[in-house]
């Protein structure tokens, strides 16, 4: 008798779906590996038969985890196929990293990443639309007084006093810098000295407020000696005796009344 040594088979051929189950990957992955040559197989009757390593009877089916060591008793063929699987897995992981970022953990669904970007873009658009309107609105507040002064000076009035202590809550920029919202004018053509210390003249007060512009005219008498002022009817004849029965008012430095007195007595 002659002894015959039988070499154990290290691979077997299985259908494509069975190969995907054994290798724990999808059918498409198996098809791609067949097309790139990282898996061996052949077509028979229009169906793929994929070459996979045989599992020893005492161990579980081969895993596709690249970190799983290749069994030493799997033979040369099994080692080569196992090495091909490891390299294919490494290429797939590299492709995933190159597409999504520095590591698989950095993969973020598109909808989650686009949400903050979309909100930021909406904010930029809204700001671009609103900012010019607010700037024009604020500019109009600060341009009101110069416009009024130019208009009234053309009508023969001279600027005597201003006031800028008004804050409109609907105009938040006024908190930082209050625009001039009140202007007082004197008509020098109507000015007349009652005596050596007192002068009378017509006054115009133009005031801005949330409801619009308001104009008031009157006649003032200023006592340059006592730095006081009083108001009389425009049609009343102002004489020295008539001023004895009138109340006189003094004003703090910087207030519109004090500015008008300084203007009249200069």
Q: Convert the chain into a string of H (helix), E (strand) and C (coil).
A: CCCCCCCCCCEEEEEHHHHHHHHCCCHHHHHHHHHHCCCCEEEECCEEEEEEECCCCCCCCCCCCCCCCCCHHHHHHHHHHHHHHHHHHHHHHHHHHHHHCCCHHHCCCHHHHHHHHHHHHHHHHHHHHHHHHHHHHHHHHHHHHHHHHHHHHHCCCEEEEEECCCCCCCCHHHHCCCCCCEEEEEEEEEEEECCCCEEEEEEEEEEEECCEEEEEEEEEEEECCCCEEEEECCCCCCCCHHHHHCCCECCCCCCHHHHHHHHHHC
pLDDT per position as a tens digit, 203-246: 999 988 766 889 999 999 999 999 999 988 877 778 777 777 78
- Per-residue pLDDT band for 53 (boundaries 50, 70, 90) equals confident
Q: How far apart are CA 198 and CA 64, in angstroms?
A: 109
pTM for this model (two decimals)? 0.47
| DSSP one-letter code for 3 | -
Mean pLDDT of the chain: 76
Check pLDDT > 80 for residue 135.
no
More confident residue, 93 or 137: 137
- Per-residue pLDDT band for 199 (boundaries 50, 70, 90) equals very high
State the residue for tokens 């002894």. Answer: 3
The DSSP annotation for 50-79 comes to EEEEPPPTTSPPPP--TTSPPPGGGHHHHH
Mean pLDDT of 141-170: 83
More confident residue, 80 or 127: 127
Q: For the chain, which residues make up each domain, given as ranges?
A: 11-106, 137-265
More confident residue, 197 or 112: 197
Check pLDDT > 60 for residue 70.
no
Q: How many CB atoms lie within 10 A of CB 32?
A: 15
Mean pLDDT of 148-156: 91
Check pLDDT > 90 for residue 67.
no
Cβ-Cβ contacts under 8 Å for 227 (sequence gap 6 or more): 250, 258, 261, 265
Q: How far apart are CA 262 and CA 253, in angstroms?
A: 10
More confident residue, 47 or 134: 47
């Amino acid at each position: 008798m002659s002894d015959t040594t039988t070499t154990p088979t290290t691979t077997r051929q299985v259908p494509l779906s069975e190969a995907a189950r054994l290798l724990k990957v999808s059918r498409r992955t198996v098809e791609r590996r067949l097309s790139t040559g990282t898996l061996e197989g052949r077509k028979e009757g229009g169906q793929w038969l994929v070459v996979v390593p045989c599992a020893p009877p005492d161990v579980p089916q081969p895993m596709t985890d690249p970190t799983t060591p290749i069994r030493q008793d799997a033979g040369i063929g099994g080692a080569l196929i196992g090495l091909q699987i490891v390299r294919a897995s490494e290429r797939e992981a590299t492709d995933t990293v190159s597409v999504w970022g520095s590591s698989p953990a950095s993969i973020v669904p598109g909808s989650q990443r686009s949400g903050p970007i979309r909100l930021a873009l909406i904010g930029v658009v809204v700001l671009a639309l609103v900012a010019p309107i607010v700037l024009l609105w604020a500019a109009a507040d600060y341009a009101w007084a110069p416009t009024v002064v130019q208009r009234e000076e053309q009508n023969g009035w001279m600027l005597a006093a201003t006031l800028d202590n008004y804050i409109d809550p609907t105009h938040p920029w006024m908190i930082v810098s209050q625009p001039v919202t009140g202007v007082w004018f004197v008509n020098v053509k109507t000015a007349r000295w009652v005596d050596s210390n007192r002068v009378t003249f017509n006054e115009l007060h133009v005031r801005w407020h949330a409801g619009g512009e308001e104009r008031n005219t009157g006649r003032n008498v200023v006592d340059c000696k006592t730095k006081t002022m009083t108001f009389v009817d425009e049609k009343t004849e102002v004489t020295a005796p008539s001023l004895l029965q009138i109340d006189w008012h003094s004003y703090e430095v910087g207030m519109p009344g004090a500015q008008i007195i300084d203007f009249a007595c200069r």
